[in-house]
Amino acid sequence: MFAPHLYKTIYIAICLILIIVTMMGYASYPSGLLTRTPKPNITKAVMILSLFIVFFGLRPNDNDPKLYMADTSGYANYYNKIQDGFILVEDFRLSDSDGDLDKPKDFLFFDLMSSMAVADFPVEAFFLVIAALYLIPKMLLIRKWFGYNALLASLFVITTFGFYSGGINGIRNAVGSSLFALSMAYIVTEKFNWKSFCIGIVICYLAYNFHNSIIISLVALAGAYFVIRTTNSAIVVWIFAIVLALSFGNAIALFGAQFFDDDRATKYIEAGMDNEVMTGFAYTGFRWDFLLYSAMPILMGWYVTVKKGIKDKVYQILLNTYILANSVWVIFIYAAYNNRFAAISWALYSYVLLYPLVRYKIWGPQQSFFTGLILLGQLAFAYLF
């Protein structure tokens, strides 16, 4: 559609226009709650997210010498090699029909890639399907949790730091995380429902087998559901993770990586300790910028649940799941590509921020104004980093 180097600029411009147009027409109820539709209506949200399905799905996948879309080029290369008669096996190794045919991790992703390549679909069709798998779960989640404020919810989603990179580069992680977020809408309900719970578990299974790193989110959800019940307790875990990371660096991360059935975590940590590897990164060391960004929903959550004393089972579990998953990223903060660990928790970022804004009177008549500032702040971070 556009040259690779223009893509992020165009994305920022689209988001900025949507925010300005929407917030100019936004008003507040006297109660301070943001304006909502008389009944659930996600038409505009579907239109916006469908636009990004096309935007991400039809992106260029070659002729990118400066690697603005490095992972896209890599996936396209493997896809083309499969079409040339190779078979994708574990850890991206390629072999002919006499090679090792062990089922790879993240097998749903690789099976989809292999099936479409063997069926001779163009690589553009594959990326379009991946973009749909990334964004359709977000549409469904918005319908379940934010149907009355769907337009606003879609703006929160598309301006979240990591939304763009999830559509362009970290596509396996992005689809898995998007599916996991949707599963929470079925699992975490005010009143327990077996049918809804089982649907959520099936979606969790799909998410995990699209990208195994979702185990972090699953453990965080279990911890929030059964163990960590208060905001203060979750924040203590998060602060403890920061202290451990500052005190022990990669040592604690290498210890924690032993508990993953995947050697990618160890490889990223070891790469993070390699000065030659890390010279290719614009930002290295302890990521205070990412930590500050990650803290925003946590501060909001503390203000809502502790300071304001608002009790909401769904929001509390959602908030604590985010905090616990983000704590795992903090442990791996020195690793190379540590933003990929952060992206696991950031998949919940927009929902954690928006949930109390559309349900509770927090800032009175100024709620729309502050919500607009939050949106612009998210977009500014996405632009700067």
Res 182 pLDDT > 90: yes
CA–CA separation, 81 vs 88, rounded Å?
9
CA–CA separation, 119 vs 99, rounded Å?
21
What is residue 281's predicted lDDT score, i.e. its pLDDT? 44
How is residue 273 annotated by DSSP? T
Res 162 pLDDT > 80: yes
Q: Which range (48-62, 263-277, 363-377) has the least confidence?
A: 263-277
CA–CA separation, 259 vs 263, rounded Å?
10
Residue type, 82: I
215 contacts 260 by C-beta, under 8 angstroms: yes
User: What percentage of the chain has pLDDT greater than the value 70?
Assistant: 81
Res 166 pLDDT > 80: yes
* Residues β-bridged to residue 88: 94
| Token digits of residue 231 | 């905001």
177 contacts 214 by C-beta, under 8 angstroms: yes
Res 3 pLDDT > 90: no
What is residue 275's predicted lDDT score, i.e. its pLDDT? 46
Q: Which range (255-259, 305-309, 317-321, 350-354) has the least confidence?
A: 255-259
The helix/strand count (H/E) of the chain reads as 19, 2
**Cβ-count burial 373-384 (b if 16+ within 10 Å, e if not):** ebbbebbebbbe
Q: How many Cα atoms sit within 13 Å of 24 on the Cβ side? A: 6
pLDDT band at 298 (very low <50, low <70, confident <90, very high): very high
Res 285 pLDDT > 90: no
Average pLDDT along the chain: 84
349 contacts 162 by C-beta, under 8 angstroms: yes
CB neighbourhood size of 58 (10 A): 15
Res 49 pLDDT > 90: yes
CA–CA separation, 29 vs 279, rounded Å?
52
pLDDT band at 37 (very low <50, low <70, confident <90, very high): confident
| Token digits of residue 219 | 């453990």
